[in-house]
Amino acid sequence: MDLLQFAQQDPQLQVFVAIAGITADDLCLLQQAAPKIVPIVPEIVDLLQTNLSQRPEIAAKLSQAYVNYSAHLAQWLIDLFSGPHDESFLRQQEKLGERNVQHKIPPLYNAFVMSFLRAALPHSFGKNAIAREFPDGALTAATLRLLDLCQYLTDRAYTSRLLEVTGISKSLLDRLMTV
């Protein structure tokens, strides 16, 4: 079952995918671009590692959770573009979120990495002339939408843990957050 079909089984995910505008064309485009993007993944990982070196507490926490964070991130990026974008892809993203929670990686660190990638990937696409091969920003838009989905799934893991620890219901948390 592909990602979009699987998302239809989860009301919140269905709404997120619809509002974010993730389409089958986006997923196809990412896979078409993968052969050009995979070779620049080490460059992007190196840029992130350089940036992380300015925040040793973040780098240390990520290294504790992932034996070789650079290799983990590189494989995650390859999978992000290469796919397959299916049920297993979504479940893998959810498991990564759960792992971050188990390893007590603060949500801020995940947000930092995703924010970095949202800036670095489009820049690298332009610098390496990959973006020109696709219509008017389509590659950047598809990439950003999928990064948003991945961050949403990770954030859900943090919310689930919060509900578990506090014992409050999702509806109560939603009401408290919107008071």
Domain limits, the chain: 3-177
Q: Under CATH, what is the fold of the domain 3-177? A: Globin-like (1.10.490)
Instruction: Report pLDDT for 101.
Output: 82
The DSSP call for residue 86 is B
Instruction: Report pLDDT for 166.
Output: 59
User: What is the pTM for the complete model shown?
Assistant: 0.88
Q: Distance between CA 63 and CA 49 in Å, rounded?
A: 11
Mean pLDDT by 10 residues, the chain (179 residues): 90 94 96 97 95 86 84 95 94 88 84 94 94 91 96 83 62 66
Instruction: Report pLDDT for 29.
Output: 96
Instruction: Report pLDDT for 164.
Output: 65
